Chain A
Amino acid sequence: AQSVTQLGSHVSVSEGALVLLRCNYSSSVPPYLFWYVQYPNQGLQLLLKYTTGATLVKGINGFEAEFKKSETSFHLTKPSAHMSDAAEYFCAVTDRESGNKLVFGAGTILRVKS
């Protein structure tokens, strides 16, 4: 069975600092990996996804994530945090055998301090 672990339910960074949100997954077959963001009172919005090919994927709003098979990780980074990045971030996994049934992590709330 697939699972996702997000280290840190809350992460706090200063504006302009590096953002690093951690995600580790388990999957018995090659995974498809996603990061979603949820702003207050809004739906889950896709930030980026990894399916095949290049292991470093770039998403919206300056975010990127690197798929590391050896570490079963898909950490999300952004070089310089902005106040508007404050939100909850969810890592999710699926695979081609699972249809579109996503398995989500518990989420990480990102706080950006001025």
Chain B
Amino acid sequence: EPEVTQTPSHQVTQMGQEVILRCVPISNHLYFYWYRQILGQKVEFLVSFYNNEISEKSEIFDDQFSVERPDGSNFTLKIRSTKLEDSAMYFCASSEQGAGANVLTFGAGSRLTVL
């Protein structure tokens, strides 16, 4: 069964450092997403991406965050200068279509720990 693959599974970084989280969506999917889950809190939407541009973003997704599809297969989330409160599990997801009833396939997540 097709999977969404995320790397790294766990990253520890110092506050202020840049972090790039990588995702390989399902090959025929056109819509890509990042969600995050701070420990003990809800899974929250960060951003959606389609046709090489952001289609929607949440209030969380400020100027410190950026997304990119650099090579037609990878989908990355960059945090420019990490803060302690960025520590969370980050989930990548993809879907075939953008309509609300469409199913998102999620990756296993990348756990980011900011010290």
Chain A contact residues, CB within 8 Å of chain B: 32, 34, 36, 41-46, 49, 51-52, 90, 92, 94-107
Contacts and interface: CB of A to CB of B under 8 A. Distances in A.
Contacts of A98: 100
Nearest to B50: A99
Given A43-B109, A44-B91, A44-B106, A100 B99 contact: yes
A99 B55 contact: yes
Nearest to B101: A51
A103 B4 CA distance: 20
Contacts of A96: 99-101
A107 B35 CA distance: 15
B21 to A, nearest CB: 14
Interface residues of B, number: 30
* Secondary structure dominating the interface of A: loop
B109 A100 contact: no
A94 B100 contact: yes
Interface of B: 3-4, 6, 9, 31, 33, 35, 41-45, 48, 55-56, 91, 93, 95, 98-109
Given A43-B105, A104-B35, A104-B43, 9 more contacts: A43-B4, A46-B104, A52-B101, A94-B100, A100-B31, A100-B95, A103-B45, A106-B41, A107-B43
Given A94-B100, A99-B100, A45 B106 contact: yes
A52 B100 CA distance: 12
B79 to A, nearest CB: 20
B42 A32 contact: no
A102 B104 contact: yes
A100 B42 contact: no
B57 to A, nearest CB: 10
Contacts of A46: 103-105
A32 B100 contact: yes
A19 B42 CA distance: 22
B108 A42 contact: yes
Given A100-B31, A101-B48, A101-B56, A43 B108 contact: yes
A103 B102 CA distance: 14
A100 B97 CA distance: 9
